[in-house]
């Protein structure tokens, strides 16, 4: 079985994330959306809200599971028997950052990282941009799945 994790904070999930998830479903037998918990990070949405946004968006997709984890991503991969990490790339900056992490993960484990380019019409979207739009009262609905409501 080809099991992958798609790690992130998903604060909140965006249409860019959804694009990667939908395309990742075609590549893997199971895709675990792995919501990382970082005590140092200040989130806009609670863990429960983020899990609800994602689970509602993919409720009809049996290949998708949603889990949380703390610590190293590769340790979580080992815990759930995932041999792949799925990552989305929006721009060259993402590539350089993700490449360093992928090389480190590969050095520390046998886990392979698979990169997908975010669809061009969604590559400008990031969770931090969405949070900024929300904080300033803008229409965030065009940037996130319809399940993201508060």
**146 catalytic, yes or no?**
no
- What are the chain's domains? 3-142 (3.40.50.620)
* Residue from 18, 50, 87, 90 carrying the catalytic annotation: 90
**90 catalytic, yes or no?**
yes
Do residues 11 and 36 touch, judged by C-beta distance below 8 A? no
**126 catalytic, yes or no?**
no
Residue 150: count other Cβ atoms within 10 Å of its Cβ: 10
pLDDT tens, residue by residue, 120-150: 899 899 999 999 999 999 999 999 999 998 7
Question: In angstroms, how far is CA 131 from the centroid of its own chain?
Answer: 16
Mean pLDDT for the stretch of residues 35-63? 95
Tokens representing residue 7 in the block: 């790690």
In sequence order, the β-bridge partners of residue 85 are 5, 113
Q: In whole angstroms, what is the distance from residue 133 CA to residue 112 CA?
A: 35
pTM confidence score: 0.94
**103 catalytic, yes or no?**
no
Beta strand ranges found along the chain (DSSP E): 3-8, 30-36, 64-69, 84-89, 112-117
Locate tokens 């300033």: which residue?
A: 136
């Amino acid at each position: 079985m080809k099991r992958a994790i798609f790690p992130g904070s998903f604060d909140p999930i965006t249409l860019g994330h959804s694009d990667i998830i939908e395309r990742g479903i075609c590549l893997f037998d199971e895709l675990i959306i792995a919501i990382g918990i970082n005590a140092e990070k200040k989130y806009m949405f609670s863990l429960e809200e983020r899990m609800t946004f994602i689970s509602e968006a993919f409720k009809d997709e049996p290949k998708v599971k949603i889990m949380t984890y703390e610590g190293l991503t590769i340790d979580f991969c080992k815990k759930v028997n995932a041999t792949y990490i799925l990552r989305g790339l929006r721009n060259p900056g993402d590539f350089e950052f993700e490449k360093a992490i992928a090389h480190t993960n590969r050095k520390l484990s046998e886990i392979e990282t698979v990169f997908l380019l975010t669809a061009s019409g969604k590559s400008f979207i990031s969770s931090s941009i969405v949070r900024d739009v929300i904080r300033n009262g803008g229409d965030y609905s065009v940037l996130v799945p319809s399940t993201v409501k508060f």
